Amino acid sequence: MIPLTPLKSKKTKLHRGKILAIAVKQSRYTKEKAAQRAEYSRSSYYKHIANPDLDFDILMRYGKAISHDFTEEFPEMPKYLLEDPQETYNKPVTVEELIRERDYWKDKYLDLLEKYNRLIEERMEKK
């Protein structure tokens, strides 16, 4: 990782938006792709990089999206994981297991749907 050049305002406080812009520029992602991966629009990205007091939650989302640890520039920022831990599920191996699992979830859905419809009907009768 290339160290970021500290950008300080007159108050010697780091401009969070500019740090974000530098990190995105140094990442392998375009501005648009970084914003998309962080689940923001392109226009939001431009608002974010203009904000000197950008919220840490926003920085965290960008950090996860571009694999950058902003806690190095902002030690007061809460630590976060760059990658979500991989959850292991029992993945079906055969077509028969897939069909069995599909049928299980379909039946469960239909049962819940029937219960929901009954509740709606009961509620409508009470009115």
Given a contact cutoff of 8 angstroms between Cβ atoms, the answer to whether 6 and 75 are in contact is no
- Where the chain has pLDDT below 70, the residues are 1-12, 81-90, 92
Q: What is the pLDDT of residue 97?
A: 86
Provide the 3-class DSSP secondary structure of residue 20: helix
Q: What is the pLDDT of residue 12?
A: 66
Given a contact cutoff of 8 angstroms between Cβ atoms, the answer to whether 21 and 51 are in contact is no
Query: Taking the alpha carbons of 71, 62, 26, 21 in that order, is the dihedral positive or negative?
Result: negative
Kindly state whether residues 14 and 39 are assigned to the same domain. yes
Q: What is the CATH number of the domain that holds 61?
A: 1.10.260
Kindly state whether residues 21 and 78 are assigned to the same domain. yes
Q: In terms of residue numbers, what domain contains 102?
A: 88-127
Question: Other CB atoms closer than 10 Å to residue 64's CB: what's the count?
Answer: 18
Kindly state whether residues 121 and 62 are assigned to the same domain. no
| Average pLDDT taken over every residue of the chain | 84
Kindly state whether residues 100 and 52 are assigned to the same domain. no
Nearest Cα to 17, choosing from 7, 26, 27?
7
